[in-house]
Amino acid sequence: MNVTTPRRVGKSRLEVAPLGFGAGPLGDRRVPAEASVEAVRAAWGGGVRFYDTAPYYGIGRSERRLGVALGEYEPRESFQINTKVGRTLEPEPLRDDSRKTFSPDGQVRTPRDRLSGHRVQFDYSEGAILAQHRDSLERLGQPYVDGLTIHDLDYGHQWPEQVDAGVQQLSRAGGGGARALENLRDAGLIAAIGAGCNRENRTHDTWQGGRQEDLIERLLDAVDLDFLILAGPYTLLDTIALRRVLPLMQSRGVGAIIASPFAGGWLIDPERIPYMYGETPDDVHARTGRMAALCRAHDVEIGAGALQFVLAHPTVAAVIPGAKTATEAREARRLLETPVPGDLWLALKAEGLLDEAAPTPI
């Protein structure tokens, strides 16, 4: 599969190569800084020029490390960075429990990251987004980023009343967050606006009931989005995004970038890594086993099938598997270049393991 020819991201002017780099793992404090830099170097050597990060990954650590690594390359126009907005990182050297807020059942809603000494506060208002954008540029050490993505405005990360407040903050009549993003794009300071779209174990019920899909439609109405980052709802194992989300995106010229193509790492190492960051359901165990058996029968690793499958959808511009080591970065390139016979896709559909409507590689 071609991993270097750029694809346009939705209706935006941003173009990215199909294989990107998910820098979330670089935020893990257990990953040595040197290993982070080597991972980015390995990705660059494999042709990767699109990098995704966020302030929340390691509470600034991912952006700082990615910025150091990419500082080796020039010109700046030769690569693209997407980071995220929605969370403000407030330094808090001394713990102040009086600043906590609680839900009606007593659960904390504004947590403090004890390791970094920062309080993480959701804020999607105009002023906050402009400040978050500026802070990200400082951590990255870059003059600009190419994309800004609305981060974790969903039921998996916030209470329903917080989600409603976040959408209101984005609205032009409310906090004006959409206005901030669109003005940055109109001024040429960013090329594209995105929003995250998660499907983790704890949010499956909201997808089955259509609530998360309704929220995505609300976001598309609130902000002139260019793309969605799909983390979980469109993988080899789970194609629920085909139901409403992807058709809606196609109708509005909104592109897709696929995060978590290996279902949180489950498809690469099911012995050690659970499915989508939570306890693996029995039906996922069974379905994965059947898929893996078919892949073996066609002499293909399931990871290769997972990466190449998602890139076959016409809305998908790129896939951004996470990597924390040079080995993992090289592995993604190898899996994308692995030949996958067309008979495999036919077999997966014949066995009811893949939606008949799902586009597959030629």
Question: Of the given ranges (189-193, 205-209, 354-358), which has the lowest mean pLDDT?
Answer: 205-209
% of the chain beyond a pLDDT of 70:
93
Residue 5 per-residue DSSP state = S
Structure tokens at 42: 């390995």
Over residues 315-335, the mean pLDDT reads: 97
Q: Supply the DSSP symbol for 279.
A: P
Q: Tell me the backbone φ, ψ of residue 17, rounded to 5 degrees.
A: -70, 150
pTM: 0.93
Q: CA 219, CA 105: separation in Å to the nearest integer?
A: 28
**pLDDT tens per residue, range 39-84:** 999 999 999 999 999 999 999 999 999 999 999 999 999 999 999 9
CA angle 97, 98, 100 (to 5 degrees): 70
Beta strand 7-8 with 15-16 is antiparallel
Dihedral sign, Cα of residue 304, residue 228, residue 147, residue 186:
positive
What is the 3-class SS of 212-255, one letter each residue?
A: HHHHHHHHHHHCCCCEEEEECCCCCCCCHHHCCHHHHHHHHCCE
Predicted pLDDT at 97 = 61
pLDDT at 105: 43
Share of the chain above pLDDT 90, in %: 82
Question: What number is the average pLDDT over the span 87-112?
Answer: 61
Is residue 98 pLDDT above 90, yes or no? Answer: no
Name residue, tokens 């713990």. Answer: 95
Domain(s) of CATH 3.20.20.100: residues in the chain: 7-86+126-350
What is the CA 21 to chain-centroid distance, rounded?
Answer: 10
> 231-245: per-residue pLDDT in tens?
999 999 999 999 999
Q: What is the pLDDT of residue 51?
A: 98
Choosing among 1.10.10.60, 3.10.310.30, 3.30.2350.10, 3.20.20.100, the CATH entry for 7-86+126-350 is: 3.20.20.100
The two tokens of residue 158 are 């916030």
Q: How far apart are the first and last CA of the chain?
A: 10
- Residue 117, pLDDT score: 77
Cα–Cα distance list, 178 to 63, 67, 170, 264 (Å): 23, 26, 5, 30
Q: 321, 22 in Cβ contact below 8 A?
A: yes
Name, in order, each residue with C-beta under 8 angstroms of 157's C-beta and a sequence gap of 6 or more: 198
Using CA atoms, how far apart are residues 118 and 132, in angstroms rounded to an integer? 14
